[in-house]
Structure 1
Amino acid sequence: MIRLYISEPTPTFSAGLMLPLNIDQGRYLTSVMRKGTGDKVSVFNGREGEWTAEIAEAGKKQVVLRLLEQTREQPQAQGPVLAVALIKRSPLEYIIEKATELGASRIQLLMTRRTQSDHVKLERLKIIAQEAAEQTERLDVPEILSPVKLEAFLAAPDVEVIVFGDEDSTHEGDERRTMPLLEVLSTLTSKRTAILIGPEGGFDDHERQTLRAMENVHPVNLGPRILRADTAAISALTLYQAALGDWK
């Protein structure tokens, strides 16, 4: 069944509620998917679970849904925060899509000293996250936050623990000074965690020293190979979900 995320403010979902769709979603249902009056779809708004709805009106100017019944309740928000430095457009969009699929609760974009891009189409990234949530049965969409400097993120974190992939720990050899990510995660229980991924080229020496000096920050080793930023983000989220998240 087609799933639609309702981002516009609406009254509390309840049986019988009439729900006008925005122009893009209305056109998608009627012109692209060829749906008409009486056809069923699923809708969610990130707050009140998932509902079955039927198309009550399928006009050229407006498409209206009628909510029928709730099929799934809204789960409690969970999942790690992903804080990721801005990188080139295509791999960044890939990160947003896969982070949504892998259950990130929020994605904070960062500017670091080696950031390769200082501008981003935030609305485009939000649409990518929305479409990924619709396709993967999520009942919420991760918030995509405007870029801030790394220093600002570290000065006012709303998480208990930050883990960051320390590229300089890749070739430490048998006598590792930096613990592997999975080993660190096993010590965190259910603490609110942010996974911090640096830019292409990694964090510079000053940033690494700042991060390593903070009590709530854990540098982690992501293995014997240098990973691209998108690969590192996906790998870290996968390990988190396996160790602490909803894959257990």
Structure 2
Amino acid sequence: MIRLYIAQDTPPFSQGLSFILNPDQGRYLVAVMRLASGDEIAVFNGRDGEWTARLGDAGKKSVRLDLVEQIKPQTARKGPVLAIALIKRGALEYIIEKATELGVQSVQLLTTRRTNASHTNVERLVSIARESAEQTQRLDVPDIHSPLKLERFLAEQGFDRLVFGDENSTHETGRQTLPMLQAVKALAQGERTVILIGPEGGFDADERAVLRGLGNCVPVNLGPRILRADTAAISALTLYQAAAGDWL
């Protein structure tokens, strides 16, 4: 069954509620998927669970949906926050798609001293996250936040624990850095956890010193190989879900 995320403002979902789809989604159902009045789809809005909806008036200019019944109740957001430095467009889009599949609560885009991009198309990233949520049975869509400087993000301290991949830790003597899997196993239940992934060039020495100076920061070892940012992000999220997330 086709699933659509309803981002537009509507009253809380309830049996019998009717509303007009936004034009893009209406055209998708009628012109692309060839649905007609009486056909059913699944819809969710991130607040009221998933519902069966029946197409009412389905014309070229507008499509009305009538909610029939709830098929899944809403679940609470429990995933980690992914904080990721801006990288090349294709790799960043891939991360957003896979991070949505892997259950992140939100994504905070960052700029760092070695970031080789200063901006990105956040609207496109939001669209990718929505499509991924529709395809993977998620009942919500992760928030994608516009880029912040790393220093500002750290100063705001909107987290209980920050886990960051210290790509240089393997090559330094005297550094005892936990392996990623061991670190996430030690996380306390209910903690708001951030997984921080740096840019393609890694964090510079000053940034790493600031991170290591935070009392709630856990530097982790991602192994003997230098991972690309997209590989590091997906690997870290996979280990988190296996050790402390919703795969248990």
Q: TM-score range by the shorter chain?
A: over 0.9
The aligned residue for residue 124 of structure 1 is: 124
User: Is the CA contact (8 Å cut-off) linking 1:170 and 1:221 kept in structure 2?
Assistant: yes
Matches of residues 92-241 of structure 1 in structure 2 within 5 Å?
Answer: 92-171=92-171, 177-190=176-189, 191-241=191-241
Unaligned runs of 5+ in 2: none
SS class of match (1:71): strand
User: Structure 2 CA distance, aligned partners of 1:132 and 1:194?
Assistant: 21
Shift of 1:189: 2.3
Query: What is aligned with 1:32?
Result: 32
Q: Which amino acid aligns with 2:181?
A: L
Counterpart Cα distance in 2 of 1:35 and 1:157: 47
Q: Distance in 1 between matches of 2:137 and 2:165?
A: 29
Specify every segment of 5 or more residues in structure 1 that has no aligned partner in the other structure, as ranges: none
Equivalent residue for 1:3? 3
Can you list the C-alpha shifts for 1:96-121, whole angstroms capped at 9, x where unaligned? 00000000000000000001100110
Percent of residue pairs bearing the same amino acid type: 64
- Displacement of 1:85 in angstroms is 0.2
Query: Could you tell me which residue of structure 2 aligns to residue 70 of structure 1?
Result: 70
Take 2:242 and 2:124, find their aligned partners in 1: how far apart are those partners?
Answer: 29
TM-score with structure 1 setting the length: 0.98
The whole-number CA distance in structure 1 between the counterparts of 2:176 and 2:131 is 41
Aligned counterpart, 1:55: 55
Count residues in correspondence.
247
Deviation string 1:210-230 (CA, Å, 9 cap, x unpaired) is: 000110001000111000000
2:169 alignment partner AA:
S
Post-superposition offset of 1:73? 0.4
Say if 1:170 and 1:226, in contact at 8 Å, map to a contact too. Answer: no
- What amino acid maps onto 1:180 in structure 2? P
Separation of aligned partners in 2, 1:117 and 1:24: 30
C-alpha root-mean-square deviation of aligned residues, in Å? 1.1
Alpha-carbon distance in 2 for matches of 1:71, 1:54: 13
Q: In structure 1, the residue corresponding to 2:68 is in which secondary structure?
A: strand
Alpha-carbon offset, residue 172 of structure 1: 5.0
Give CA-to-partner distance per residue, 1:54-101, whole Å, 9 cap, x none.
000111100111000000000011100000000010000000000000
1:186, distance to aligned residue in structure 2 (A): 1.3
Indicate the SS of the match to 1:41.
Answer: strand
Matched position secondary structure for 2:77: coil
- Say whether the 8 Å CA contact 1:46–1:140 is kept in structure 2: yes
8 A Cα contact 1:109 1:147, kept in partner: yes
User: Which residue identity is paired with 1:35?
Assistant: L
1:247 aligned residue: 247
Q: 1: CA distance between counterparts of 2:246 and 2:65? A: 32
Letter in 2 for 1:233: A
Q: Secondary structure at the match of 1:27?
A: helix
Q: In the alignment, residue 186 of structure 2 is paired with which amino acid? A: T
Q: Secondary structure at the match of 1:189?
A: coil
CA distance in 1, matches of 2:11, 2:157: 32
Measure the CA separation in 2 of the matches of 1:214 and 1:42: 45
